[in-house]
Structure 1
Amino acid sequence: MDSGGSIPEEIKKAAQVTQWLSTGLLLVLPEKVNGDIEKLALSGHSRGGKTAFALALGETGQKSRKNKPPAKNKNATTPNFKALIGVDPVAGSSPSNREEPKILKYIPRCFDMSIPVSVIGSGYGNQPLGLFPPTAPDGVNHSEFYNESKPPACYFLAKDYGHCDMLNDKLDTTASFIRGISKSG
Structure 2
Amino acid sequence: MASASASANDTTKNVFDDGKYQTVLLKAESGSCCSKSSKVPVPPPRPLLIATPSEAGEFPLLVFLHGYLLCNSFYSQLIQHIASHGFIVIAPKLYTLAGSNANVDINSTVATTNWISEGLHYLLPQHVQPNMRKLGLVGHSRGGKAAFALVLQKAATSLKFSALIGIDPVDGICRGLQTPPPVLTYVPHSFDLDMPAMVIGTE
TM-score of the superposed pair, with normalisation by structure 2: 0.50
Decide whether the 8 Å contact of 2:140 with 2:169 is kept in 1: yes
Q: Distance in 2 between matches of 1:31 and 1:43?
A: 26
Question: Offset of 1:55 from its aligned partner?
Answer: 1.1
Which consecutive aligned stretches of 4+ in structure 1 deviate over 3 angstroms post-superposition?
none
CA distance in structure 1 between the aligned counterparts of 2:167 and 2:181, rounded to whole angstroms: 19
| 2:98 alignment counterpart | 4
Distance in 2, Cα, partners of 1:16 & 1:93 = 27
Task: Between 2-11 and 109-118, report the one with greater CA deviation.
Answer: 2-11
Secondary structure of the corresponding residue to residue 122 of structure 1: coil
1:90 to 170, 174, 183: 170
Matched, 1:107 2:187: yes
Give the aligned length: 108
Which structure 2 residue ranges, 5 or more long, are not aligned?
1-93
Give the structure with the larger helix fraction: 1
* Alpha-carbon distance between aligned partners in 1 of 2:120 and 2:183, rounded to the nearest angstrom: 30
**Partner SS state of residue 92, structure 1:** coil
Which of structures 1 and 2 has the bigger CA Rg? 2
Whether the aligned pair in 1 keeps the contact of 2:121 and 2:129 (CA below 8 Å) is yes
Structure 1 unaligned blocks of 5 or more: 60-72, 124-185
Q: Which residue of structure 2 lines up, in the alignment, with residue 74 of structure 1? A: 156
Q: Which amino acid aligns with 2:199?
A: V
1:31 counterpart (103, 111, 126) = 126
CA distance in 2: counterparts of 1:22 and 1:30, whole angstroms: 15
Instruction: Give the whole-Å Cα distance in 1 for the aligned partners of 2:116 and 2:128.
Output: 14
Cα RMSD after superposing both structures: 1.5
